[in-house]
Structure 1
Amino acid sequence: MSKVKLYSELLKFEHTVFALPFGLASIFLLYQEVLSWKKVIAILIAMISARTLGMALNRLVDKPFDEKNPRTKIWPHASGLVKDWEIKLLIFISGLVFIGSCYAINLLALALSPVVIFFLWFYPYAKRITYFPHLVLGVVYFLIPIAVDIALNERVSLIAFLLGLAMGSWVSGFDVLYSLQDYEFDKNVGLKSIPVRFGIAKALKIARLLHGITFFSLVLVGLVYPKTTWIYYLGLFLITLFLVYEHRLITEKDLSKINKAFFTVNGFISFVFLLVVLLNELYYTFGLKG
């Protein structure tokens, strides 16, 4: 059990709260026919295994820096509690499960699986070559609704694109905020990020801009989606309040509440969106049409 706990800490399974609810919401927004539960399960397995693969790659590639960073040197991989061969085994197994789940979905998903794997692999290297690694992470999340649409309908619709834009800009924005914790360390060791390039004040403004894109993308989703009701827009209003609150927590002179903004507020945003999509679907089906 202690080893399982170490793996859970290594891979930050609690971060699944960010991607999984949005992925589930994408399923309900994008399906065209009666949902096949086998396909839904395969999609969920693909999401979880892809996230595990991405985190394991990130830990292995970033280990030389994580060992030196005061914030991360106590993490299992940096402190030596989880060995490199164990991380490589996790990479192999999760990669195999991801490819297998794509095969179970359809051949198009299987053919495009290397694209997802490439961006998962590239993200930890991005901070070495570009000041915009947050946007690379955003691309990974942008691909989630795209992949769901391909899995369910073998196409890429406008709604999937807008959902991807909302997810990608949301994640990029809070990754900019999260990277503020390592601002001094990254500058000293030569790692790149938006805060390192533009400074803390401008980085906060860029994060707000990215979350503004999230808001407008979700508005457009509501306009394009044929089943939108007042419940969706009420939920979008609540999400906007959470985003505003998140940015009020963090200021140039006080970065002490980054973890609260990152974990608590973003977790609420993801779950609220899923709940709103489900309630909107139920109201449209049984309220308006029932």
Structure 2
Amino acid sequence: MRLHLPLITPLYLCPALWASSLASPHVSPQILIVFLLGSVLIRGAGCTINDLVDHDIDRHVRRTKERPIAAGLISKRQALVFAICQFLLALGLLLTLNKTTILLGSLIVVPIFIYPFLKRFTYWPQIFLGMIVNWGCLMGWTSVTNTLALPALVLYVACLFWTIGYDTVYAFQDYEDDQRLGLKSSALKVGLQKGVFFVRLCYVLFFSGLLGVALFLKNPIFGFSLIPLIPLIFLKLKYLSLKDPSSCGDFFRWNGKMGFLIWAGILLANFVR
């Protein structure tokens, strides 16, 4: 489950927190707990499936060669059973929500199994990952309203650019290994020279989408709460070194913290309103 990387789970959790809190200022604590536990389980199941599919590749990548399956610490069968158990626990949580959200949640299972194979065929697996990771935008909204609405869809698209941005930086950690192994990623597509520009563009689109949601919902306090984060993320990008895996990893993990800061802005807006 990679519980040693706790700041990655917010990347799965925060879109659901944002959506549910934007949909209603009074979200049931039960719903928040379901999304908290569900994000841990779905992320864990996804990581397990990813490690299972990539175990032969992971052995040849410096960053991933110590993962349990690649290192031979657990068998592929054990990993599959573990993934199924996590999916079943997540299903139990999902069934506590309304029917619309249950339907949406059930649609994400197959894409989780497809994603690990994409790096073999396309330079844009990050787009597909964004569709999975940010599915909570739609589920968070429907868990409160029992229906989808335009702000949820705009938020979902905005978060898609967020994921493409931070996961492109994440992919630069394996830039040389992926080149050597003939794998594909958005990092390899845009390259080192244009990488920061591309990621910067993703964040422009991300924050534009968030501001659009704030405008649509007539929620100026949420919109103003985003303003300090915009120069901060661009300052982070200014000092980002795509050639340094440590710098890329730090930037990637910082996005989890930013996710909670954005949620804090939404909660502040709800409190004031």
Task: Provide the residue aligned with 1:242 in structure 2.
Answer: 232
Give yes or no for contact 1:169–1:211 (8 Å, CA) kept in 2: yes
Do structure 1's residue 100 and structure 2's residue 95 form an aligned pair?
A: no
Deviations 1:26-81 (A, max 9, x none): 2211138x534334433333333222221111111111111111221123332223
Do structure 1's residue 198 and structure 2's residue 187 form an aligned pair?
A: no
Match for 1:18: what amino acid?
Answer: L
One of 204, 220, 226 as aligned partner of 1:229:
220
One of 264, 269, 272 as aligned partner of 1:280:
269
Q: Identify unmatched segments of 5+ residues in structure 2.
A: none
Count of residues paired in the alignment: 273
Give yes or no for contact 2:241–2:248 (8 Å, CA) kept in 1: no
For structure 1, which segment, 122-131 or 36-45, has the greater mean C-alpha deviation from structure 2 after superposition? 36-45
SS at match of 1:77: coil
Rate the CA distance shift 1:262–1:35 in 2: closer, same or farther, 3 A.
closer
Give yes or no for contact 1:25–1:277 (8 Å, CA) kept in 2: yes
Task: Provide the residue aligned with 1:3 in structure 2.
Answer: none
One of 57, 67, 78 as aligned partner of 2:70:
78
Do structure 1's residue 24 and structure 2's residue 17 form an aligned pair?
A: yes
Please give the residue correspondences for 1:107-126 in structure 2 after superposition, counting only pairs within 5 Å: 107-126=99-118
One of 114, 131, 136 as aligned partner of 1:139:
131
Match for 1:276: what amino acid?
Answer: G
CA distance in 2, matches of 1:229, 1:57: 41
Task: Provide the residue aligned with 1:287 in structure 2.
Answer: none
- Give how far 1:269 is off: 1.1
Rate the CA distance shift 1:252–1:274 in 2: closer, same or farther, 3 A.
closer
- Give how far 1:145 is off: 0.9
Task: Provide the residue aligned with 1:271 in structure 2.
Answer: 260
Give yes or no for contact 2:165–2:199 (8 Å, CA) kept in 1: yes
SS at match of 1:65: helix
Deviations 1:76-97 (A, max 9, x none): 3322234333321221111112
Match for 2:234: what amino acid?
Answer: V
Match for 1:250: what amino acid?
Answer: L
SS at match of 1:48: helix
CA distance in 2, matches of 1:254, 1:54: 26
Rate the CA distance shift 1:55–1:171 in 2: closer, same or farther, 3 A.
same
Structure ranking higher in helix proportion: 1
- Give how far 1:131 is off: 0.6
Do structure 1's residue 90 and structure 2's residue 85 form an aligned pair?
A: no
CA distance in 1, matches of 2:126, 2:192: 15
CA distance in 2, matches of 1:8, 1:256: 19
Rate the CA distance shift 1:35–1:197 in 2: closer, same or farther, 3 A.
closer
For structure 1, which segment, 211-220 or 88-97, has the greater mean C-alpha deviation from structure 2 after superposition? 88-97
**Which has the bigger relative contact order, CA under 8 A and spacing at least 6?**
2
- Give how far 1:216 is off: 0.4
Do structure 1's residue 47 and structure 2's residue 42 form an aligned pair?
A: no
Rate the CA distance shift 1:266–1:40 in 2: closer, same or farther, 3 A.
closer
The TM-score with structure 1 as length reference comes to 0.85
Match for 1:242: what amino acid?
Answer: L
Do structure 1's residue 176 and structure 2's residue 168 form an aligned pair?
A: yes
Rate the CA distance shift 1:279–1:64 in 2: closer, same or farther, 3 A.
same
Rate the CA distance shift 1:255–1:76 in 2: closer, same or farther, 3 A.
closer
CA distance in 1, matches of 2:243, 2:61: 22
Percent identity of paired positions between Structure 1 and Structure 2: 25
SS at match of 2:63: coil
CA distance in 2, matches of 1:175, 1:281: 30
CA distance in 1, matches of 2:111, 2:271: 36
Q: Identify unmatched segments of 5+ residues in structure 1.
A: 1-5, 285-290
Match for 1:268: what amino acid?
Answer: K
- Give how far 1:220 is off: 0.2
